[in-house]
Amino acid sequence: MFSGRFDHAIDEKGRVSIPARFREILQRENHDRLYITNFPYNGEHCLALYPPSQWDTLNATLSTKPRFDPRVQAFQTFFIGGAHEVPVDKQGRILIPTNLLKFAHLDREVTFSAMQDHFQLWDRKILEKVLKAAEEKINDPEFFTKLGL
C-alpha cells in the first residue's frame, strides 16, 4: 500500500523521479513499469499511476461490466484509452508523455500523492488548492458520519 505525499521536480525532458518510498514498494513487487493516465478530480486534473498488478485488477473488474453501457464506454475511452505504459529507468524515473503533461497542467514543481493501491501526480499549486478544499469538507462535523467511518 502506498501512503504519503512527496514533492519532486520534472526535468526539461519531462522525466520525474518516483519517490523512494514508492519505488521500494514497486521493487518489492518486481514492477519495472507503471501505467499512467489522465484523471479528473473535482474540476481539476492530475495523473493516476498504477503498478501493473493494480492496473490488471482494474481492467479485470472493468471486464465484468456491461461493455455497451455508455458509462463504461466513457470510462474506457477517457481513462483506459488515455493510458500509457511507461518504464521505470535505473535511476527510478519515468518519462511523462507530453499529452499527459498538458492534461494535468504539470509544471516543474509536482507532488506525488498516495491513493493506497496507486498514486497520483499533481501540479504542486493545483494540489494545494485541492487540499485546502478537502480540509474545509473534512472540518464539517457531519463529514465522517456521512462517509461511514
- 5-123: CATH topology is Chemotaxis protein chec (3.40.1550)
Contacts 24+ apart (CB under 8 A), 53-61: 53/29, 54/117, 54/118, 55/83, 57/117
Percent of the chain at pLDDT above 90? 91
The pTM for the full model equals: 0.93
Question: Coil, strand, or helix at residue 133?
Answer: helix
Instruction: Parse the chain into domains and list their residue ranges.
Output: 5-123
pLDDT at position 107, please?
Answer: 92
- 27 — pLDDT class (breaks 50, 70, 90): very high
Burial class, 97, CB count within 10 angstroms (exposed 0-12 / middle 13-18 / buried 19+): middle
75/77 Cα distance (integer angstroms): 5
